[in-house]
Amino acid sequence: MTRRIDLLAADAVAEGEMQMVWVDGGASPVLVVRSGGVLHALQGTCSHEYFELDRGFLTRGTLTCPLHLSRFDLGDGTALDPPADLPLAVYPVVEEGGRVLIEVPDGPLAVNED
Ligand code: FES
């Protein structure tokens, strides 16, 4: 079974920007990014150490964690540089009625962390 989580209004994230949304009663951060006209939703903390990625920066389809400068592919979450070696979890995005939702398996949100 899957569940849908309503994150925010689609127009709340402009091109080249990102917004952190805390879901599941504030337990889980999800980072919503609009890049190249595409909306992405990824785990909100780095897979290397706990660091909130809305303080990172976006460059050509990647997100850089400012703590140790690992870059992650926005499309599939792949860690492109050390020290991070695990990908960021990515969540399927659905845009509906002007809202951004993710569709994920029931249960806790998947998060990759060392
Ligand atoms: S905490 Fe993100 S690269 Fe180390």
CA–centroid distance, residue 82 to ligand 1 (Å) = 9
pTM over 0.85: yes
Once rounded to an integer, what is the mean pLDDT over residues 99-106?
98
For residue 45, give Cα distances in angstroms to 1, 36, 95, 99, 102.
25, 22, 23, 23, 17
CA–centroid distance, residue 88 to ligand 1 (Å) = 11
Give the count of beta carbons closer than 10 Å to the beta carbon of residue 97.
Answer: 8
Contacts of 111 (CB under 8 A, 6+ apart): 28, 43, 45, 89
**Looking at ligand 1, which residue's alpha carbon is closest to its atom 4?**
68
pLDDT digits (tens, 9 = 90+) for 7-55: 999 999 999 999 999 999 999 999 999 999 999 999 999 999 999 999 9
Residues 34 and 13: beta-carbon distance below 8 Å? yes
Residues 44 and 52: beta-carbon distance below 8 Å? yes
To 5 degrees, how large is the angle CA 81–CA 84–CA 85? 90
**Looking at ligand 1, which residue's alpha carbon is closest to its atom 1?**
49
pLDDT above 90: residue 114: no
User: Which ligand 1 atom is nearest residue 84's CA?
Assistant: 3
- pLDDT band, residue 95 (cuts 50/70/90): very high
Once rounded to an integer, what is the mean pLDDT over residues 107-111?
95
SS3 of residue 89 by DSSP = coil
- What is the CATH class of 2-105? mainly beta
**Looking at ligand 1, which residue's alpha carbon is closest to its atom 3?**
68
